[in-house]
Amino acid sequence: MSEVDAAQLGARAEAMIKALGAISAEPGRLVRLFLTPEHRRAADLVAGWMREAGLTVSEDALGTVRGSIGQGPRLLIGSHIDTVIDAGQYDGPLGVIAGILAVSHFGGKPPLPIDVLAFGDEEGSRFPATMASSSACAGVFDTGTLGLADRKGVTLAEAIKAYGKNPDDIAKAAYRKDEVRAYAEVHIEQGPLLEFDGEPLGVVTGIVGQSRWRVTVTGEAGHAGTVPMRMRRDALAGAAEMALMIERVGRDNAASHMVATVGRFDVSPGATNIIPASVTFTIDLRDLDDRLRQSAIDTIRREARAVAEKRDLGVIFEVFHDAAAVASDGKLQQHFADAITALGHKPMRLPSGAGHDAQTMAQLCPSAMMFVRCRRGISHNPAEYASPADMGLAVAALIRFIERFASQ
């Protein structure tokens, strides 16, 4: 693969990224949520690209767009086309576009059967659960999530029907294990390590385990001017103390790559002159070591209860996402490493601190990922950026990966 070819691939990837990035629910910022009109428009655009690449297109009950070519056990290549609120353009779409461009390179005759997958839900930005699309493909979809509602009160089941699909057909989305050989995903790093080391591409060794909790703290509303400080049952003050404790737990375990985030606070009644009666907040806890992650969860629950008892508050914990850490398949890692080396670059190996569809697909088949350098490690932010040169190298490396995998 010549440098000129990689440059051409990068230019094509950039143009496709920009085309998808123009599909948004809001002017001035990128918002593309699961099972919305914007999802439909993005899915239709991707389906058109797949057909141009020689892929046969279908769509499952959760809106995953599948482009297939060849018969027999296949390599799956995929990522997602949904976004967070006020998103960057590269998180997710790059992996889908890389798969399409790689297949297109083979002129309708890839060296093995391939499916390119465009998942509609990885981020969990609309409903309080993540990776619904890939979990359906992997055969591990939790039907309990069908009752989860978005901020407007629309349940996942209702959204599926509004999208023109049938929730009863979700089971049909699952691949059989004998249909699939492996899953590969190209994704921006969403971190600074590749840029720091001056490398455009990296091989992912594993994906951290994640726990997401919803915590409700209850106190008692009161007049902000008449209830003495010593007599207050202020839910927000208690929740704030818990949030600082959660940050401390993450810092105390930073050596194991643990991170702990309180990302959302909902205060009721939320008035300037009323003592808060209740607060609901979220916890996102991640670590490569599932045992340490569980130990941190136990610590957080214990110390939060102590805060609640001290302040005469109630506290309830509800888990809405839990995913075990996943190690990338060793042989697939080596194929990616060899592909990067063949392009004249060092195959840096690094873990993923973010969750990805590969984490779910690993429950179906051997899975691996290749990271692409992104500027300053910024992601989930409009400033997110990967250069056309790096994206072109990523597609070139994916093509080499496909060739190596097919010959094993």
- Residues placed in the known binding site: 80, 91, 123, 187, 212, 273, 286, 380
Q: Do residues 395 and 202 make contact, with C-beta atoms less than 8 angstroms apart? A: no
Strand runs labelled E in 225-277 = 259-261, 265-268, 274-275
d(CA 40, CA 72): 29
Binding residues for allantoate: 212, 273, 286
Pairing mode, strands 114-119 and 74-80: parallel
Which residues lie closer than 8 Å to 85 by C-beta, 6 or more apart? 29, 31, 125
Burial of 97 (0-12, 13-18, 19+ CB in 10 A): buried
The answer to whether the peptide bond before residue 27 is cis (omega within 30 degrees of 0) is no
Residues 305-320 as b or e (16 or more Cβ within 10 Å = b): eebbeebebebeeeeb
Burial of 228 (0-12, 13-18, 19+ CB in 10 A): exposed
Which residues lie closer than 8 Å to 237 by C-beta, 6 or more apart? 276, 311
Binding residues for Zn(2+): 80, 91, 123, 187, 380
d(CA 117, CA 135): 13
d(CA 143, CA 65): 20
* Three-class DSSP labels, 156-179: HHHHHHHCCCCHHHHHHHCCCHHH
Helices in 93-180 by DSSP H: which ranges?
93-105, 132-137, 156-162
d(CA 258, CA 255): 7
Q: How many residues does the chain have?
A: 408
